[in-house]
Amino acid sequence: MFSLENKIAVITGAGSGIGKAIATLFAQQGAVVHILDVDENGAAVAEEIKKSNGKAFFYICNVANQVDVKNNVEKIYKEHSRIDILVNNAGIAHIGTAENTAAEDFDRLINVNVKGVYNCLHAVIPYMKQSGGSVVNLASVAALVGLPDRFAYSTTKGAVLAMTLSVAKDFLQHNIRCNSISPGRVHTPFVDGYLAKNYPGKEAEMFEKLAKTQPIGRMGEPKEIAQLALYLCSDEASFITGCDYPIDGGFVKLNT
């Protein structure tokens, strides 16, 4: 079950965290993984996959730049003559309210988290229409509930959720499925960096506090998000489209 044997997968933001876990798992399941990331760490991830006998390729790509995305996607298509899977994982975070969020920060989040998803959809869908495929967008629980100090981030993830529904509706007849995943707090390098920057000397204490905001009592692991993405991109999920999946330790349903 859950084989992706010889599927051509494009995964953005796979240089670390959730994206890295998705790329690694997809390769283990037989996919030919193409990592698009603005960070050179993506090259190291591709090399790790190859050392484990997987197939992976890395492309420096700024998802906010439509020409950059189009050129890289075109290279992938020319190499394989199809694209079966797109995972829109690349994204950035921001802390602030509508009052104290600067215009430049708001624009930066829109460009990466919203326009970046659009750019990848815009580039991949014409190729995917030829033989069908699966799109998974990374949204967030921030799109589903009110979170303090997450104005711009919540705005962008709400847009990702809306785009998911729109794409699912528009391309049903082309056998393209589109779903989204809404993680709660997940233990990634971003979390460690955030704690080190904002709570020096109190990292362990604050980590525990953040972990306990999930009713299940801990943060998620990147591999757990990857496993859900694998299911949604596999043939076993062929009857699923236009759905969002909170994976959050009970945060949305048990805290409201």
Instruction: Render each residue's pLDDT in the chain as its tens digit; 256 residues.
Output: 999 999 999 999 999 999 999 999 999 999 999 999 999 999 999 999 999 999 999 999 999 999 999 999 999 999 999 999 999 999 999 999 999 999 999 999 999 999 999 999 999 999 999 999 999 999 999 999 999 999 999 999 999 999 999 999 999 999 999 999 999 999 998 899 889 988 999 999 999 999 998 999 999 999 999 999 999 999 999 999 999 999 999 999 997 5
What is the C-alpha separation between 84 and 25, in angstroms, rounded? 16
- Domain membership of residue 174 (yes or no) is yes
- Domain membership of residue 102 (yes or no) is yes
pLDDT of residue 189: 86
- Domain membership of residue 214 (yes or no) is no
What is the C-alpha separation between 234 and 228, in angstroms, rounded? 10
Residue found by looking up tokens 């979170």 in the block: 147
- Token couple for 70: 């189009």
- Domain membership of residue 82 (yes or no) is yes
Catalytic residue among 153, 194, 231, 245: 153
Q: Which domain holds residue 24?
A: 8-185+222-250
pLDDT of residue 98: 98
- Please state the pTM of the whole predicted model: 0.96
- Domain membership of residue 198 (yes or no) is no
pLDDT of residue 256: 56
- Domain membership of residue 107 (yes or no) is yes
Helices (H), the chain: 17-28, 41-51, 66-80, 103-109, 116-128, 151-170, 189-198, 203-211, 222-233, 251-254
- Domain membership of residue 142 (yes or no) is yes
What is the C-alpha separation between 203 and 181, in angstroms, rounded? 28
Query: Is 59 noted as a catalytic residue in this protein?
Result: no
Q: How far is CA 209 from CA 101, 175, 206, in A?
A: 25, 44, 5
Number of domains in the chain: 1
- Domain membership of residue 3 (yes or no) is no
Look up the CATH number of the domain holding residue 149: 3.40.50.720
pLDDT of residue 190: 84
